[in-house]
Amino acid sequence: MSLRETAAALKRVPLFENCSGRELRDIAGRGAERTYPEGRMVTRQGKLGDEFFVILDGKADVHRNGRKIRTLKAGDHFGELALLHSLLARRPRAATVTAATEVRCFTLTVSQFKNVLYEGDVAVKLLYSIAGMFPED
């Protein structure tokens, strides 16, 4: 997938919605694509999380406490809380994600995420996005 296509996928992620096209292409260029075969566990509930994922192709099932809670498809994302919490301290994953079909993902590690934050005004834009995720009282 080209940087432009990956950047377009990132634009649909609420965390990155306020980033410019240039910033999104920069983020896309720092991450990597990974493919997981059907049945492969992508993340495991209770393990420390240090990656963020955007599904580019395929489907993945999300289980919490052994119970399926949803299926993710292309354009969906997971692991953003691991990235945000990593700024303070690593925390365990809240769910297990398993490839229901072959899944191709864009991944961004904690160190890549931190590098993105410290350049330009990306951190400020992410804060605005996070603030917008929580309705006012």
pLDDT in single tens digits along all 137 residues of the chain: 788 889 998 888 877 888 889 888 988 999 999 999 999 999 999 998 888 899 999 999 999 999 999 999 998 989 877 777 776 777 788 899 999 999 999 998 888 877 877 776 776 776 766 666 555 65
The CA distance from 72 to 54, in Å, is 10
Please state the pTM of the whole predicted model.
Answer: 0.81
Q: Could you give the count of Cα atoms lying within 13 Å of 86 in the half-sphere of its Cβ?
A: 20
Residue with the two structure tokens 């400020």: 124
CA-wise closest residue to 32 among 16, 53, 11, 13: 53
Domains of the chain: 3-133 (2.60.120.10)
Q: Which residue type occupies 128?
A: Y
